Homo-oligomer: A and B are copies of this chain.
């Protein structure tokens, strides 16, 4: 097969991906509300954890965003009540994650997705309702904007509480966004932040009354979807000089994987699961509290 034919076939596969009105990968739904305005809905009930399959799905989504010539706005939301996007799936085999080939940036698939999302020439918006912990905070930080339910948002990084290091870049991104002092508070206190505090810290753009959140994001996304794609992409390209170097997200990922091999993390996660972590209930609802209760 000649290179030209291969390229054409690849383009054709991508075209068909692009042409359909919706893509349902296993745990993410991509819905095209219009050619310019897409929604990606995270749907892994009951508590929206992220395992290897969801990482593969995010890879598929970002490829679709990058090759499309019409999309200007992508909103990320959740179909699971009480959870935007949660910590990783600790019932999955770690090897299923670590054996995935790196993405085009050379980074492993999760940080690869995050840095490509920040660089994609479209406006990305996190619509946050429910718990956004670990990966949920990390995708919020990778999105261009984020709007949170005032009553129903919990934002947090929780990793240090079980002897881990966060894997999706909050050490690189939070200090630029909310200042080094509040970044270290988030990363070392592990508090469950309310929408109101997240807004006060600048962690999210705005926290809105829950009843107004959907209409606000819909209006904003529809508005931006009218504008010229070239202008959006050029403006974002020039803003992106402020992004941390990709290598910092790689270093965070490496520290995260290293932490998982240590007894502190293995014991911490085990102790938390013994109390009810990883299924609906009080530990997931009040994770910050329980991180202070397990033996360390």
Binding site for B on A (CB under 8 A): 123, 143-146, 159-161, 163-166, 171-172, 174-185, 187-189, 201-202, 204-205, 220, 223-224, 226-228, 230-232, 234-236, 238-239, 241-244, 248, 251-252, 255, 258-259, 262, 264-265, 268, 292, 296
Tell me whether B181 and A239 are in contact (CB under 8 A): no
Shortest distance in angstroms between A161's beta carbon and chain B's nearest beta carbon?
Answer: 6
What is the interface of chain A mostly: helix, strand, loop, or mixed?
A: helix
* Known A165-B235, A238-B248; further 9 A-B contacts with Cβ < 8 A: A144-B180, A144-B184, A163-B228, A178-B202, A188-B224, A188-B227, A226-B296, A228-B268, A234-B259
**Cα A166 to Cα B235 with chains together (Å):** 8
Known interface pairs A163-B227, A231-B160, A232-B188; A179-B177 also in contact (CB < 8 Å) = yes
Cβ contacts A to B, 30 pairs, < 8 Å:
A123-B184, A143-B181, A144-B184, A145-B184, A146-B181, A160-B228, A163-B230, A164-B231, A165-B231, A165-B234, A171-B238, A171-B239, A175-B239, A175-B242, A176-B179, A177-B180, A177-B181, A179-B202, A180-B242, A181-B202, A181-B205, A185-B205, A187-B239, A188-B232, A188-B235, A227-B296, A230-B264, A231-B264, A234-B259, A238-B255
**Cα A159 to Cα B50 with chains together (Å):** 38
Shortest Cβ distance from A224 into B: residue:
B188
Partner of A181, one of B166, B182, B204, B223: B204
Shortest Cβ distance from A201 into B: residue:
B202
Tell me whether B182 and A235 are in contact (CB under 8 A): no
